[in-house]
Amino acid sequence: MSRSMKTQFAACLTASVLLASCVPALKMREARKVDRTYYAGATDTTNDANITWRTFFKDPDLHALIDSALGNNQELNIMLQEIEAARAEVRARKGEYLPFVDFGAAAEVDKVGEFTRNGAVEHDLDVKEETKFPEPLPNYMIGARASWELDIWKKLRNAKKAAMMRYLGTVEGKNFMVTHLVAEIANSYYELMALDNQLSILQDNIAIQKDALEIVRLEKQAAKVTELAVRRFEAEVLKNRSKLFDIQQRIVETENRINFLVGRYPRPVARRSSGFSALIPDSVASGVPSQLLSHRPDIRRAELELTAAKLDVRSAKANFYPSVRLTAGIGLNAFDPSLLASTPASLIYNLAGDLVAPLVNRNAIKAAYIGASARQMQAVFNYEQTVLNAYVDVVNQLSNIQNLHHSYDLRKQQVDALSSSITISNNLFRSARADYMEVLLTQRDALESKFELVETQKQRMNAMVNMYQELGGGWR
């Protein structure tokens, strides 16, 4: 290596060190870790998020709905296209640190003025007619050009890795959407079954109230009650009959919500509602909180976004350092197309290397670096928030499942007591040992308790579904 080249290399190296020392210093922060247990003494690592939704849900009609939704749901299909766009971004970033090669052809005509340097020289030359250049001078060229930025600071590779992390994040986003879609269909399906049961209960109650109304009318004919009692029972029957239409409307809306999620136009939804009250929610094994990091797609996506943000900072930091670019070209050039093949006379080539480093007014680079660092901190906070939210969701659902279990047992006892009290109140009314208001209120309370029991059963099934979702199940 000659002395001049050594001097130039040392100068470039010194400049690189000086420029690197001018990178702004920014604070860093690591994400906090999740707690070890949901509550004291919970160390069982069995987690139902590992099982598929086909195993978790036993109803074949529900299986058919979820299957259809996974193939036809429009929002899910939109997310799949977002994944394809993210994959294309990875491909584009990968191509940036590979050499660029272009192939092209060009043709031009050039006429220089006589009073210019080139024109004066050309006209002063005493050349033979057969070797004289044409006037004007055509120029034909065909060849290839290549350029390559040497990624010595890994700026381009880090950008590609960041794009890859975001692509994987969109995949996890799709998985997160699948968990929500599965849970929403299951919850709507159980709500539909609950409405069917409430409709059946209301129809049975209306039949009982009609019988009671006939008894009151007979009692009025015997002068045991007044017209007021008859009117009150009629009003109660009419009120409950109007409730039938409210429930039927809710059934239609719930069916169409399911149809929308499935991606089809309104139609009846197949279900087996007769056994809804006998359904016993499966006990969901919650495992330990650390398993949420691998099971929940939203946490996995937040983690990938955090990794991508760190890579963005490294890529932005590399902009402060010198960049090295190599350029080369090879082709054929002549003023006559027939002479292009006359090689090596028509052969042209070039090779060059550039070393460029920002020196003055680096505000744009600094701003990009500071912005990337701020987004990295934002990704850290988002990751912590997502983990905390997942932990709170699971703890809430664990408590909800336990409380709903106790509530259901007590409401069932309430229904049994009020159902038997209907017969007692009717017998007492016939023997004139109870007035009509006691019969009316007993029937009303019994109807409300049955509705509440069905509602609590629906909440129990929803709590089971929500727990499965909060643990990160449903996307496998």
For all residues of the chain together, what is the average pLDDT? 86
pLDDT for the residue numbered 378:
94
3-state DSSP call for residue 327?
A: strand
pLDDT for the residue numbered 30:
54
Nearest of 239, 262, 283, 242 to residue 192 by alpha carbon: 262
Locate 127 and state its tokens.
């050349």
26-97+154-322+362-470: which CATH topology? Outer membrane efflux proteins (OEP) (1.20.1600)
At 9, is the pLDDT very low, low, confident or very high (cuts 50, 70, 90)? very low
Q: Which residues of 86-117 are buried (b: 16+ CB within 10 A; e: fewer)?
A: beebbeebbeebeeeeeeeeeeeeeebeeeee
Beta bridge partners of 352: 327
Rounded mean pLDDT, 182-201: 96
111 versus 157: the higher-pLDDT residue is 157
Nearest of 110, 102, 104, 108 to residue 142 by alpha carbon: 104
Within this chain, domains 26-97+154-322+362-470 and 100-150+323-356 share the same CATH topology:
no
Rounded mean pLDDT, 164-170: 94
At 126, is the pLDDT very low, low, confident or very high (cuts 50, 70, 90)? low
pLDDT for the residue numbered 308:
95
pLDDT for the residue numbered 41:
54
300 versus 218: the higher-pLDDT residue is 300
Q: Is 28's pLDDT higher than 80?
A: no
Dihedral sign for Cα atoms in the order 464, 467, 471, 476:
positive
Q: Are strands 347-356 and 137-150 parallel, antiparallel or unpaired?
A: unpaired
pLDDT for the residue numbered 257:
96
pLDDT tens by residue, 346-382: 899 999 988 888 877 788 899 999 999 999 999 999 9
At 216, is the pLDDT very low, low, confident or very high (cuts 50, 70, 90)? confident
Q: Which residues contact 430 (CB under 8 A, 6 or more apart)?
A: 215
Beta bridge partners of 106: 141
Q: What percent of the chain has pLDDT over 90?
A: 53
DSSP structural state of residue 138: E
Contact 9, 319 (CB under 8 A): no
Q: Which residues contact 325 (CB under 8 A, 6 or more apart)?
A: 147, 148, 149, 150, 353, 354, 356
Q: Is 123's pLDDT higher than 70?
A: no
Nearest of 315, 302, 316, 317 to residue 378 by alpha carbon: 302
pLDDT tens by residue, 250-294: 999 999 999 999 999 999 999 999 889 888 888 888 878 888 888
pLDDT for the residue numbered 95:
86
- Delimit the domains of the chain by residue range: 26-97+154-322+362-470, 100-150+323-356
At 436, is the pLDDT very low, low, confident or very high (cuts 50, 70, 90)? confident
pLDDT tens by residue, 454-470: 999 999 999 999 999 99
Q: How many CB atoms lie within 10 A of CB 280?
A: 9
Locate 257 and state its tokens.
């919500």
DSSP structural state of residue 403: H
At 7, is the pLDDT very low, low, confident or very high (cuts 50, 70, 90)? low
Nearest of 97, 11, 20, 26 to residue 320 by alpha carbon: 20
The class (CATH top level) of 100-150+323-356 is: mainly beta
The one-letter amino acid code at 39 reads Y
pLDDT tens by residue, 349-359: 999 988 888 87
Bin 63: left if φ > 0, else alpha if -120 < ψ < 50, else beta: alpha
At residue 116, φ and ψ (nearest 5 deg) are -105, 170
Rounded mean pLDDT, 49-60: 91
Least confidently predicted of 100-109, 214-223, 429-438: 429-438
Q: Is 132's pLDDT higher than 80?
A: no
Distance from C-alpha of 299 to C-alpha of 77, rounded to nearest angstrom: 22
Contact 175, 76 (CB under 8 A): no
Least confidently predicted of 172-186, 320-334, 353-367: 353-367
**Distances in whole angstroms, Cα of residue 36 to Cα of each of 300, 370, 450:** 18, 35, 41
DSSP track, 29-84 = -PPPPPPS-SSTT-----BGGGS-HHHH---HHHHHHHHHHHHH-HHHHHHHHHHH
Locate 353 and state its tokens.
């290397």
pLDDT for the residue numbered 233:
85
Please name the helix (run of DSSP H) or strand (run of DSSP E) that holds residue 452, with its range, or none: helix 436-470
Distance from C-alpha of 112 to C-alpha of 118, rounded to nearest angstrom: 7
Q: How big is the chain, counted in residues?
A: 476
Nearest of 386, 394, 395 to residue 31 by alpha carbon: 386
